[in-house]
Structure 1
Amino acid sequence: MHPFFANLRRWAAPPLALVFALALTAAAVSPAQAAPDTIRIGVATAGGGDPVTWGGSPGGVARVNNWLEDEFKASGIKVEWLFFKGAGPAVNEALSNKQIDFAYQGDLPQIVGRSNGLKTKLLLVSGARNNLYLVAPPKSDIKSIKDLKDRTVSIFRGTNGHLVAINVLAANGLAERDIKGVNLDTGSAQAALVSNGVDAAFGGYEWFKVRDQGLAKVVYSTQGQDPAFTRQASLLVRSEFEQANPAEVQRVVDVFVRAARWSSDEKNRDELFRIWARSGTPVASWAAEFDQQQLAARNSPLVDDFIIGRYKAVVADALKLKLIRREVSIDDWFDTRYLKNALKKQGLENYWTAYDAKGNPKAGSAASVAAR
């Protein structure tokens, strides 16, 4: 054989020992992805208390009890909570700028963020079937939704309450253009209503405190109404962070599921409301918000047919109302692998009831916790 071809053969087929040596060298100089120094969680509310926390979500229980901090302490990973007065829209901006890794926010801003190209994954629900209320000054002649025509009404635009408010108006023969809508955040809306700067306001449980002070009356509530008029909130993770840190994502989900289990136990109802009250919203307000409602139905982390159906309805409504500019696919958005792992590890696979698209218990689903 010509020497040239002999040398070529040697170059093309190095000895196996050399191959393994090169592989080991490569492994030595290319270590596995390092864990993050800090896990940053953005919450779509200004919150309250010291340290700042929020209520209405099992996440608030994990926050107050330092469960996430304890989970990551031995690993040397710091947990940082960031609260946003600008709610969902402000959280989307933080996600876009990679200032947070996880985001707790409502359905509409999540959809808006996805339509604008935010790369996220929805991991679990953390506050389902949240109610919406219409309030007015105590002496107001407004007694129903229909009385809002041509009135000045506060709506926190871009939040998950915005779309529900529009649907409630529509169910009563009104469109958003039939009212004089004013975009105000929660604190500004309360100040405006108390000073008669607006005739009425849409909002959530935060209005019970104002009502109990004699400064407002509840004109309308979605409690006991069609579940389609409720708001959903959930935990997202930036796709880039999830891909680089799957082990840490699993640990975060594990803690949120643990908090959901504790928050779903009726024996903990009073203590749950006391924990949430540290945010500045009194126990009485939480009692009113959850009146005659099972904790398990509100605090379930399951991404069931009801949740998926509500998110698809939000997409359709947001598109129709031009809150988003294009159709948004969400079928590949829900990443429940981590949730399923957590449920299995904690023996909770049959703990919560799964609901159908209309919000009724799904045939064959586990019985509700309260019914056991």
Structure 2
Amino acid sequence: MPRVLRRIVALALGVAALLGPVSISVAAERVTIRIGYAGPAAEGGRFVSGPVGVIASERYIERAFADDPAVTVEWSFFKGAGPAVNEALASGQLDFAFMGDLPSLTARAAGLQTRILMATSPRDNLYLVARPDSGIAAIGDVRGRRVAQFRGTSTHLTTDRALSQHGIDARDIRFFNMDDATALAAIASGDVDAAFGKSILLRLVEQGLAKVAFSTKGDPATTASSHLLVAAAFEAAHPDLVAKLVRGTLKALAWSSREENREAVFAIWAKSGTPIDVFRADYEEQALAYRLSPLIDDLLVESYRYKAAQVKALGLVRRPVDVTGWFEPKYLNAALKDLGLEKAWIRYAADGKPRGNS
């Protein structure tokens, strides 16, 4: 073989030796992180109300992976709320999900393997709003009335607990299963007399089409809770990516929890299409840090234990739900320490009393 040809072959082999393994390695390390949210986004974008509105629209998670070009973040917003997210998780279409307590509990009962990484909205208020001419002025007045409720979502269990606390049997109410948009329209048209739900129902109050007959504001035990969870298989395969995602999410919650950002936070949430005055009314006399705490404290865990018993008692699941080992706070605790946020939120005891900072 001529000397020049031998040199060309040697050079080609050298380049192949250098580039070949690198190309294979890069291809093997590419990961798409698939995140689901239990609710629709405005105009097909990323604008939703609540803490995920800031996390998604301001791209906090994407920024957490800005130094890793091998990672792509992909969001999906589900009109079918929690049940639709569960289907996607079960079929392996999602790695992470922002969702509420009830659908997560029913999925756990069915054997879906997930880990709860942090709270995102642990103390959402429940409202009963009624048509002004309905004669419903308190929660006890709903007996025998037509009432909308979005069953299978996080407000379902909160409603049942509130009714129980006031000695009301849910079977004495004519419930209609409606999503939020349908319930709003049904009250406005008079097809139902009232509705149980979250702050979105305050839109009707702002418009003068309904009044608040009851709320759980001020009761830390009777609230709807939402969280961030991860598929157990993804966590086992990519604990480093889980840590980065939790860190990015925590930064968003830290910014959103500062009182000086109150109006800016509400303005971002209002891009979802919900008027900003709804958020002002919902959060009135409540600290942002109280409502948006990410902490896995005793109150949160006890709340899920109580709701686990509820879903079995209500016949929503066939098997008891064991929450032992479901919560995985190590990523959150590491991020709190790393970001200097250990005193940013107050921890609560199981009885709802403050225990102090983390």
TM-score by length of 2: 0.89
Q: Find the counterpart in structure 2 of residue 176 from structure 1.
A: 170
Partner residue, 1:193: 187
Alignment of 1:67 with 2:53, yes or no, is no
* Number of corresponding residues: 336
The gaps in structure 1 that reach 5 residues or longer are 1-26, 368-372
Q: Are 1:326 and 2:319 an aligned pair?
A: yes
More strand by share: 2
Q: Is the 8 A contact 2:64 2:247 kept in 1?
A: no
Q: Deviations over 1:37-92 (max 9, x none)?
A: 321111111132562321222x3212121222233244232222111111111111
Matched residues in 2 for 1:352 and 1:52: separation? 27
1:261 corresponds to: 254
Asked if residue 304 in structure 1 is aligned to residue 301 in structure 2, the reply is: no
**2:346 corresponds to:** 353
In structure 1, what is the equivalent of residue 90 of structure 2?
96
- How far apart are the structure 1 equivalents of 2:172 and 2:26? 58
Say if 1:43 and 1:103, in contact at 8 Å, map to a contact too: yes
- SS of equivalent to 1:323: coil
Q: Distance in 1 between matches of 2:184 and 2:78?
A: 18
In 1, Cα distance between equivalents of 2:316 and 2:137:
29
CA deviations 1:229-258 (Å, max 9, x no partner) are: 111100000011111111111111001111
Query: Pick from 195, 198, 203: which aligns with 1:204?
Result: 198
Aligned partners of 1:81, 1:343: CA distance in 2, in Å? 25
Does the alignment pair 1:366 with 2:357?
Answer: yes
1:273 offset after TM fit, Å? 0.7
Alpha-carbon distance between aligned partners in 2 of 1:237 and 1:343, rounded to the nearest angstrom: 19
| 1:33-44 map, 5 Å | 34-44=28-38
- The structure having more radius of gyration, on CA atoms, is 1
Q: Take 1:36 and 1:96, find their aligned partners in 2: how far apart are those partners?
A: 23
Contact 2:46 2:53 in 1 (8 A): no
* Among candidates 209, 220, 238, match of residue 214 of structure 2: 220
- 316-325 or 70-79, larger mean C-alpha shift: 70-79
Matched residue type, 2:136: I
**Secondary structure of 1:279's match?**
coil
Using the aligned pairs only, state the percent identity: 44
Change (3 A) 1:366 1:71: closer
CA distance in 1, matches of 2:119, 2:165: 27
CA contact (8 A) 2:246 2:335 kept: yes
